[in-house]
Structure 1
Amino acid sequence: MGTSLMLISPPPPTKTPQFTPSIFPLPKTHQTISLPSSRKINTKIRSTRKFGNFLDLKPEYQPEDFDFDLPWHHSSDRSQFDVIIIGAGPAGIRLAEQVSFYGIKVCCVDPNPLSVWPNNYGVWLDEFEGLGLEDCLDKTWPMASIYIDDNNTKYLDRCYGRVSRSKLKEKLVKGCVSNGVRFYKGKVWEIKHHEFESIVVCDNGKELKASLVVDASGFSSRFIDRDDHKLRKRNYGCQIAHGVLVEVDYHPFDLDKMVLMDWRDSHLGNEPYLREGNSKVPTFMYAMPFSSNLIFLEETSLVSRPVLSYMDVKRRMVARLRHLGINVKRVLEDEKCLIPMGGPLPRIPQNVMAFGGNSGVVHPSTGYMIARTMALAPIVAFAINECLGSNRMIRGKHLYANVWNSMWPIERRFVRECYCFGMETLLKLDLNGTRSFFDAFFDLKPYYWQGFMSSKLTLKDFAWLSLSLFGNASNSSKFDIVTKCPVPLAKMTGNIILESIG
């Protein structure tokens, strides 16, 4: 959700919706990538001292709202809808597009529906192709590389892409407009529930009514009840990262490969304090090279509990770039990424439907979410139509149960516990253990590692993956598995039992 508020609902549009986002102008050498539309540039180029600390450079591109003409809901309109979706991020807009496709009346409520999405998203190309969204990618790389250490590099024959936030938002919003979705600019303050209807109260006092309310506003939402079992703790892991899109003099990465993980630590040879911390809670570099002097770089803690210090992440990034000889001339964009991972699912079912980051779809072992969210939206929309479509009117408890179970059928809940087991295992590994784990993991048959990263494995698949992983592991990794996995395994078994009786 955006951060700005408007206390009065804006007037309806006076002309036909148009979608003509501009392409952000970059220097000629940088025309391999389109940045989000409608951004301003500070043309003054600054440079750090040779291989020095770039953190004092300010991002030059400041986001501005899109100039789409949206069909606004205003005070004189009838305030009754079939579905109200809170949040106009990727999850909310995608679900609004899919639900409204069936002719269901949808209203999307957000403090600023026209804001630019702040986060960068990377996806496997085949996932977006399967959804018909491959035209929403800025750039693709035919392969991905994994640096296990200085002497071991793996190459993955799977095409990877960077999502264009402007293209994806334009496509999804255009679908919403075509299907009759209405937008309301406001912050949801309260939700009142009756037997067959819910009332959404906005901060300006405006009330909107619907048979179903979907909260797609993110993990920090206060409208989703997570106390599904008193015996289960909210023991989330956290992924934290610092990312920058930068202009550099030079970088050492191949232009036809993105760097999925770089676990090397030779850059910390002269940083004993940082090296000691990294050996216990490691971070890796994730890199998307767009040209010889334009690259997105992100230093990432895959998962930690408690969360790793953001300053530690940035210091390790500075040391890594200095070691690689990367001199940052300009910071075009930067972002801080903090993703809660794992933990219990929301209580299933409940009156408000969660979707996106607050629904448990974040991959507990990798942090990936965007592709799976895009894929789940048609499934959830179909379930909503089965209840609220023109030929049916199933509301109340039966509606909530049907919609929740469409996203979290019992087998998927069991499989998610397996992914959480993977997260708990990673939390117990130091740098050497993590390297050994991924060395064995990416030696698995592509069906298993691809299915794991894309959240597509069944329980049977997961069992075979575990056996194969143990068989491919080094002796030290097998020792780690035997000595460090019993407790996470017991937790996983207990949680599956709780899910099955809940």
Structure 2
Amino acid sequence: MGTSLMLISPLPPTKPHQFTSSIFPHKTNQPISLPSSRKTSTKIQSTRNFGNFLDLKPEYQPEALDFDLPWHHPSDRPQFDVIIIGAGPAGIRLAEQVSLYGIKVCCVDPNPQSIWPNNYGVWSDEFEDLGLEDCLDKTWSMASIYIDDNNTKYLDRSYGRVSRKKLKEKLVKSCVFNGVRFHKAKVWEIKHHEFESIVVCDDGTNLKGSLVVDASGFGSNFIDRDDHTLRKRNYGCQIAHGVLVEVDSHPYDLDKMVLMDWRDSHLGNEPYLRDGNSKVPTFMYAMPFSSNLIFLEETSLVSRPVLSYTELKKRMVARLRYLGINVKRVLEDEKCLIPMGGPLPRTPQNVMPFGGNSGVVHPSTGYMVARTMALAPIIAFSINECLGSTRMIRGKNLYANVWNSLWPMERRFARECYTFGMETLLKLDLNGTRNFFDAFFDLKPYYWQGFLSSRLSLKDLLLLSLSMFAHASNSSRFDIVTKCPVPLAKMMGNIALEAI
């Protein structure tokens, strides 16, 4: 949810990507300036009819770090302790944390100096806990949720947008200080031997490592999973279309970010869109930076099969037209596609997944960035323990030990509960979804905040479920009783299998 985040090697902003949300800066917000454009006057003239903004070409220009990196050279010894594939947030964060122990790390990516193009939103307290609050370029003191035209909720929890440049610079500079090497290439193949793996790159370079970590995203070919048919049947998908735009004006409060806007009045004169939205609802997620600069994202929280991207954009056009938002310039755009839920990677295997391909995407919300930042020190500690002089663990045993630090049994049980939440949402129409979130955000902050941040224990999740049922309307209780038995049975069966 939010501008979810790709925890992998970044793709151009017009390609599908994965995302997540939760970060934070200092309490003082820095002003965000509008980029200049030599084509502004032409673009403004072409958008006087609301909705034409989809035809505007984004003015985004790819950015890169303005300092050089310590590269791996062919003349260097190719032996490393850990090889990390991918220089997205997950890969760079893990490289930084592992290298703190003096472990020899190489990070491989086709574009390790590029700044990630995706917008990442996070809860400020989570980034503050990680010491990353200086990597936020904007914070809002509160978040708002529009359940419908007559019901708006305000969450007293600060939310922030991550400065992609600040976060990458901070993590990369720490990597450089700790001796991490970088190699600019695409990984072509990974060959596994009893005590080491060989990473074959498309430039002909072979890198040897005791452990290979794949942080290149969900679409990786190096992680063993169940067959494609099973994956397709089990995964839900979050899809979104986001734009950072200059507008004449917008109706949202500047001191609040809009976590969800479920209103559907904009579809009143378009029966086809209204019927579709009633069955598979979408909401608006918005970050207002100023009265004429705002990030807007039409989002399908979760669907199976995935909602049509064309349908999503049509709903966004209708919403902006109804709200009277006239887009003058499109500064950035992004397509987001996040697989949610589904089975975890097979274990044991010879490549350690981390980030989007390791199952850490919140099955009910799509959140991932803050949690991945928090998990990296735990995984790094486990890697150090296994590779240290007193525990020379290698091969699949190394993978199994590190994997268990990422997914201990209790967290796997909790993930099944979060997946149950996703399965429940998949069965709800617009009215059911509104009733769900109306009750959810009436819970004590400890529960809804803990749920969104993936930090509730099994006991907490049980208490949350009971409290949700108590707070729910009669129609919501009816939905729960009639639509949730099958997902509940699946959850209990999966927990039993995990326990065995």
Task: Give your verdict on TM over 0.5.
Answer: yes
3-state SS of 1:55 partner: helix
* Residue in 1 that maps onto 2:5: none
> CA deviation digits over 1:115-164, x for unaligned, max 9?
12121110000000000000000100000000000000000000000011
* Residue in 2 that maps onto 1:166: 165
* Residue in 1 that maps onto 2:439: 440
3-state SS of 1:153 partner: strand
Looking at structure 2, the residues matched to 161 and 280 of structure 1 have their Cα atoms a distance apart, in angstroms, of 31
Deviation at 1:390, TM superposition (A): 4.7
> Counterparts of 1:83-98 in structure 2 under 5 Å?
83-98=82-97
Deviation at 1:206, TM superposition (A): 1.1
Deviation at 1:64, TM superposition (A): 3.2
- Cα gap change, 1:133/1:217 in structure 2, threshold over 3 Å: closer, same or farther? same
Q: 2:124 is matched by which residue type in structure 1?
A: L
Looking at structure 1, the residues matched to 495 and 170 of structure 2 have their Cα atoms a distance apart, in angstroms, of 39
Deviation at 1:63, TM superposition (A): 1.0
* Residue in 1 that maps onto 2:122: 123
3-state SS of 1:278 partner: helix
2:365 is aligned with 1:369:
no
Looking at structure 1, the residues matched to 432 and 152 of structure 2 have their Cα atoms a distance apart, in angstroms, of 16
Looking at structure 1, the residues matched to 184 and 231 of structure 2 have their Cα atoms a distance apart, in angstroms, of 37
* Residue in 2 that maps onto 1:44: 40
* Residue in 2 that maps onto 1:293: 292
8 Å contact from structure 1 (residues 83, 105) kept in 2: yes
Looking at structure 2, the residues matched to 235 and 398 of structure 1 have their Cα atoms a distance apart, in angstroms, of 28
Q: 2:372 is matched by which residue type in structure 1?
A: T
* Residue in 2 that maps onto 1:23: none
3-state SS of 1:183 partner: strand
2:392 is aligned with 1:393:
yes
Deviation at 1:42, TM superposition (A): 4.5
2:242 is aligned with 1:246:
no
- Between 1:112-121 and 1:221-230, the stretch displaced more is 221-230
Looking at structure 2, the residues matched to 110 and 93 of structure 1 have their Cα atoms a distance apart, in angstroms, of 10
3-state SS of 2:61 partner: strand
* Residue in 2 that maps onto 1:322: 321
Q: CA RMSD in A?
A: 1.9
Q: 2:56 is matched by which residue type in structure 1?
A: L
* Residue in 2 that maps onto 1:464: 463
Unaligned runs of 5+ in 1: 5-29
* Residue in 2 that maps onto 1:413: 412
Higher RCO (CA < 8 A, seq sep 6+) = 2
2:485 is aligned with 1:489:
no
> Counterparts of 1:263-302 in structure 2 under 5 Å?
263-302=262-301
Looking at structure 2, the residues matched to 306 and 483 of structure 1 have their Cα atoms a distance apart, in angstroms, of 22
8 Å contact from structure 1 (residues 102, 389) kept in 2: no
Looking at structure 2, the residues matched to 2 and 130 of structure 1 have their Cα atoms a distance apart, in angstroms, of 26
Deviation at 1:355, TM superposition (A): 0.2
Looking at structure 2, the residues matched to 66 and 98 of structure 1 have their Cα atoms a distance apart, in angstroms, of 20
Looking at structure 2, the residues matched to 458 and 489 of structure 1 have their Cα atoms a distance apart, in angstroms, of 18
> Counterparts of 1:61-72 in structure 2 under 5 Å?
61-72=60-71
8 Å contact from structure 1 (residues 143, 156) kept in 2: yes
* Residue in 1 that maps onto 2:17: none
Looking at structure 2, the residues matched to 371 and 383 of structure 1 have their Cα atoms a distance apart, in angstroms, of 20
3-state SS of 1:298 partner: strand
Looking at structure 2, the residues matched to 53 and 397 of structure 1 have their Cα atoms a distance apart, in angstroms, of 54
Deviation at 1:65, TM superposition (A): 2.6
Deviation at 1:234, TM superposition (A): 4.8
Looking at structure 2, the residues matched to 491 and 482 of structure 1 have their Cα atoms a distance apart, in angstroms, of 15
3-state SS of 2:334 partner: strand
Aligned length, in residue pairs? 473
Looking at structure 1, the residues matched to 50 and 229 of structure 2 have their Cα atoms a distance apart, in angstroms, of 52
* Residue in 1 that maps onto 2:377: 378
Deviation at 1:256, TM superposition (A): 0.5
* Residue in 2 that maps onto 1:10: none
- Cα gap change, 1:176/1:105 in structure 2, threshold over 3 Å: closer, same or farther? same
Looking at structure 1, the residues matched to 454 and 233 of structure 2 have their Cα atoms a distance apart, in angstroms, of 22
Q: 1:430 is matched by which residue type in structure 2?
A: D
Looking at structure 2, the residues matched to 135 and 218 of structure 1 have their Cα atoms a distance apart, in angstroms, of 26
Deviation at 1:232, TM superposition (A): 8.2
Deviation at 1:33, TM superposition (A): 2.2
Identity of aligned residues (%): 85
8 Å contact from structure 2 (residues 30, 138) kept in 1: no
What TM-score results when the alignment is normalised by the length of structure 1? 0.91
What TM-score results when the alignment is normalised by the length of structure 2? 0.92
Looking at structure 1, the residues matched to 159 and 444 of structure 2 have their Cα atoms a distance apart, in angstroms, of 18
Deviation at 1:227, TM superposition (A): 2.4
8 Å contact from structure 1 (residues 41, 61) kept in 2: no
